[in-house]
Amino acid sequence: MKKALITGGQGFIGGHLVDRLIDDGYEVLVIDNQSSSTAEFHINAKAEYLDFDISDVTLYNELFDRATRYDYVFHLAGVSKVQESIDKPAVTVFDNVLGSCSILEFCKITKPVKVVFVSTCSVYGLSENVPFKEDEETDCLNPYSLTKRHAEELFQMYNRIYGVEVSILRLFNVFGPRAPKQGDYAPVVSKFMDQVSKGEKPTMYGTGANTRDYVHVEDVVNAMILAAESSVSLSGEIFNVGTGKDYSVREIVDMVRGDLEPEMMAPKQGECKKVIADITKIKKELGWKPKHNLKSYTQKEIKKLKKDSTKGSTKSLTKE
């Protein structure tokens, strides 16, 4: 039986990865200290869990005591919210950089088949060179994106110097089941649908003209597993994980709002106007392509909300 180690495996994306690997017959160990303030933590009864911060050196004593080699390591843990990173820059450096280095030290000794590091499209910053390509110069604007970029470089360095087999995935805006519904950094798809299901107006910042590339969590999990299991030698490579298609916030509001007019909020400062992934590389090298469509997903979810509504609120769930 293949074995996988997943850091951050109780969050939105990590939880889906755990479920998929369990279904595929893997033995899974999850490291997660539930430090996120917005996640709804997910547990799979067939996986094993350790409650540790990835920067805690005693964690690695625990792992070495098990005398177990993991075939694949998926590293998702760390500070993952921009505002949180701005509020706690030292903690962000500690978790995202030093924590990543600790994981890499463990992998340097145990030599898994592949280590997959989950990074972010935020490293592109305010670039206007759309669609974003992996070889583009990065423009890190906050501790979150900066530490993710530094971690990418650490993974590449451990590949060059120590022979650790790594793949780096830059995720774009992920949506899907179990996505966070509340808070400024909840995916707008789940946030808007949650607001509308409660009869609340969806909150839209500025004109809603800014666009993002939205990719379904199942497609993201497929990309991670392909990156891990691929027999093609692509170690140290960076891949965008998006769709190559963008939607404006206004378009998403119109998909879900029904007869509820959005509540207009002051625009956020320093936001990129247009975010689109160039996915040529991942399609060519890994044979990956997205299977899910944002518009189809929202339509299905709205129909479910309408069907499940028991309080006469269905009128606000679909546009007349």
Cα 81 from Cα 142, distance rounded (Å): 10
Q: Is 22 exposed, middle or buried (0-12, 13-18, 19+ CB in 10 A)?
A: middle
> Which of these is catalytic: 70, 144, 158, 247?
144
Query: Is 203 within 8 Å of 263 (Cβ atoms)?
Result: yes
Per the annotation, the verdict on 72 as an active-site residue is: no
Place of tokens 């979150």: 144
Cα 45 from Cα 5, distance rounded (Å): 16
Query: Is 155 within 8 Å of 239 (Cβ atoms)?
Result: no
Among the listed residues 27, 81, 296, the one whose alpha carbon sits nearest the alpha carbon of residue 176: 296
Place of tokens 């070495």: 64
Task: Report the residue count for the chain.
Answer: 320
Give the side-chain half-sphere CA count within 13 A for 160: 7
Radius of gyration of the chain (CA): 20
- Hey, which residues are catalytic here? 144
